[in-house]
């Protein structure tokens, strides 16, 4: 208890209370009521005052373990499985996690690639009481619904989306609306269009209108988000379109985790670290182009023309090679002549040379066995789409790839960094 001396006498003062005390458990439930009145921008600015306040918010408002406890008795074990299987959590769960809200109805959407990763993750869910109730298959993906009935009558639902050709990050980056370009990995939560989504509470189309479900638009409206149709109002929140141009088409290039992203490290205490390094996700890029410039008389001529002129477009490709341990996502843009406007062609060329170098160093007999006597050009067209029985001593070049991507990235955007957009 603090005291002060006045006229030679000691006066007892009211104990001092600092901001960290107010945000701590001592003042619950008043603290929770106070924080609910604060907007995202206010909470983030308060978090910048000191480390203790930042940790107080993360341990309460953005506690991923408490959020996942609705679905799993051991959230940390589940997060370890997410990391091991290279899976991502996406959908409304992530949107509400960032927004610090909770809606009725418990469901979790998880993206994972078909094969061993998907099989292991589903086995994990079945082992903790979930039951497979429905399977919907399409050309590229399969949605598997798993349900668990709790002792108090609560029902939790998992939607496991499996893709055979794309890594989990690709469908996230290619979401039809900007509010869904968020994900949670085993150790981080990342929102690509953070200011637009969580400060302005806006969303924009990243695909034709008919690719967006009515249910999603209704959900956004009920929870306070607005579908923004004034393109000029959101350009700066999506990307910097001034750095590069392909002929007359403005191109915005983004990196997962760049300065326009909201990247939130999560508490990883007692979470087993996976073998896949963090740079695999954060080396990923995307390209975004604004709607084409259409004359008003053409834009208003039909609804299909208006549809094409009122949405941004995301462009990504998946990079994989026999000299890379992991798959990566990068951005590209189509030009009128059918070529890609992208520096990542150099990345693919780097991988091709490394692959041929690996085969060359094996010796003539082993090389002939693996390539069936093909020429280097035939090898590249064949081995890049088929499995390769890699012998002992095979080297991988992921570390060189990330350095090359970073160098090309800096060359592409120049030395001008994206303008800092405070939340």
Residue at 81 is within a domain: yes
Instruction: Give yes or no for a contact between 191 and 90, defined as CB atoms under 8 angstroms apart.
Output: no
Residues 22 and 90 both lie in one domain: no
55 CB-side CA count, 13 A: 7
**pLDDT tens, position by position, 162-181:** 766 678 898 899 999 999 99
The SS3 of residue 162 is strand
What lies within 8 Å, CB to CB, of 50 at 6+ separation is 19, 20
Q: Kindly state whether residue 423 falls inside one of the protein's structural domains.
A: no
d(CA 356, CA 219): 51
Output DSSP code: residue 224: T
Q: Do 22 and 139 reside in the same domain of the chain?
A: no
> Residue 10 falls within a domain, yes or no?
no
Same-domain pairing of 92 and 51: no
289 with 361, same domain: the answer is yes
Angle between helices 116-127 and 75-84 (to 10 degrees): 170
- Going by the DSSP 8-state scheme, the letter that residue 207 receives in this structure is S
- The number of domains in the chain is 2
pLDDT at 81: 94
Asked whether 284 and 86 are in contact (CB, 8 A), the reply is no
Let me know if residue 390 belongs to a domain.
yes
Task: For residues 185 and 52, state if they share a domain.
Answer: no
Helix runs in 276-393, H state only = 279-282, 296-299, 303-308, 344-361, 364-371, 376-383
Per-residue pLDDT tens for 243-281? 544 444 567 778 898 888 999 999 999 999 998 888 888
51 and 131: one domain? no
What pLDDT, on the 0 to 100 scale, is given for residue 85?
Answer: 92
For residue 244, the model assigns a pLDDT of 46
Whether residue 26 lies inside any domain: the answer is yes
Considering 26, 60, 94, which residue would you say is the last residue of a domain?
60
Cβ-based neighbour number of residue 119 at 10 Å: 13
For residue 9, being part of any structural domain is answered with no
- Asked if 205 contacts 212 with a C-beta cutoff of 8 angstroms, the reply is yes
The answer on 92 and 28 residing in a single domain is no
Per-residue confidence (pLDDT) for residue 190, from 0 to 100: 95
Q: Considering 60, 86, 112, which residue would you say is the last residue of a domain?
A: 60
Phi and psi at 170, nearest 5°, equal -60, -50
- What pLDDT is attached to residue 164? 61
Distance, CA of 190 to CA of 193 (rounded, Å): 9
> Is residue 199, in this structure, part of any structural domain at all?
yes
Helix (H, G, I), strand (E, B), or coil: what is residue 69? coil
Output the pLDDT for position 420.
36
Indicate whether 88 and 151 sit together in one domain.
yes
Residues of the chain with pLDDT under 50: 1-6, 244-248, 336-341, 415-423
On whether the CB atoms of residues 237 and 196 are closer than 8 A, the answer is yes
Residues 55 and 71 in one domain: no
Give the per-residue pLDDT at 338.
42
Which two three-digit tokens encode residue 332? 């590209």
The answer to pTM > 0.85 is: no
- Contact by Cβ (8 Å): 89, 184: yes
364 in a structural domain: yes
Q: Are residues 309 and 251 in the same domain?
A: yes
The boundaries of the domain holding residue 35 are 16-60
206 and 322 both lie in a single domain = yes
What pLDDT is attached to residue 378? 87
My answer on whether 130 and 36 are in the same domain is no
């Amino acid at each position: 208890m603090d005291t002060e001396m006045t006229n030679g006498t000691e006066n007892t003062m009211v104990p001092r209370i600092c901001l960290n005390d107010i945000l701590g458990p001592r003042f619950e439930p008043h603290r929770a009521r106070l924080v609910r009145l604060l907007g995202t921008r206010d909470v983030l600015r308060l978090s910048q005052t000191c480390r203790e306040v930042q940790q107080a918010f993360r341990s309460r408002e953005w506690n991923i373990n408490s959020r996942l406890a609705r679905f799993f008795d051991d959230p940390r074990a589940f997060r370890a499985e997410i990391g091991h299987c290279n899976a991502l959590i996406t959908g409304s769960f992530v949107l509400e996690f960032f927004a610090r809200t909770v809606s009725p109805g418990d469901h979790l959407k998880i993206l994972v690639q078909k094969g061993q990763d998907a099989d292991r993750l589903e086995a994990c869910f079945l082992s903790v009481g979930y039951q497979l109730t429905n399977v919907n298959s399409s050309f590229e993906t399969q949605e598997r619904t798993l349900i668990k009935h709790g002792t108090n009558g609560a029902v939790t639902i998992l939607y496991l989306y499996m893709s055979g050709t794309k890594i989990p990050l690709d469908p996230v980056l290619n979401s039809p609306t900007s509010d869904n370009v968020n994900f949670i990995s085993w150790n981080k939560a990342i929102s690509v269009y953070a200011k637009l989504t969580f400060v302005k509470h806006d969303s924009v189309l990243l695909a034709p209108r008919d690719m967006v479900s009515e249910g999603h638009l209704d959900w956004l409206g009920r929870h306070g988000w607005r579908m923004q149709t004034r393109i000029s109002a959101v350009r700066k929140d999506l990307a910097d379109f001034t750095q590069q141009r392909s002929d007359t088409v403005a191109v915005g290039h983004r990196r997962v985790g760049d300065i326009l992203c909201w990247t939130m490290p999560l508490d990883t205490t007692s979470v087993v670290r996976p073998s896949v390094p963090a740079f695999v996700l954060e080396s990923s890029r995307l390209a975004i182009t604004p709607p084409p410039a259409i004359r008003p008389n053409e834009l208003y001529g039909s609804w299909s023309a208006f549809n094409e002129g009122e949405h941004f477009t995301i462009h990504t490709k998946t990079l994989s090679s026999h000299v890379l341990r992991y798959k990566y996502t990068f951005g590209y843009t189509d030009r009128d002549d059918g070529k890609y406007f992208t520096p990542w062609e150099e990345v693919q060329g780097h991988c091709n040379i490394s692959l041929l170098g690996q085969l060359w160093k094996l010796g003539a007999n082993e090389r002939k066995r693996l390539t069936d006597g093909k020429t280097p050009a035939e090898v590249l067209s064949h081995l890049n789409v088929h499995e390769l029985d890699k012998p002992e001593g095979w080297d991988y070049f992921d570390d060189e790839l990330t350095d090359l991507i970073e160098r090309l990235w800096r060359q592409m955007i120049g030395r001008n960094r994206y303008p800092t957009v405070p939340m």
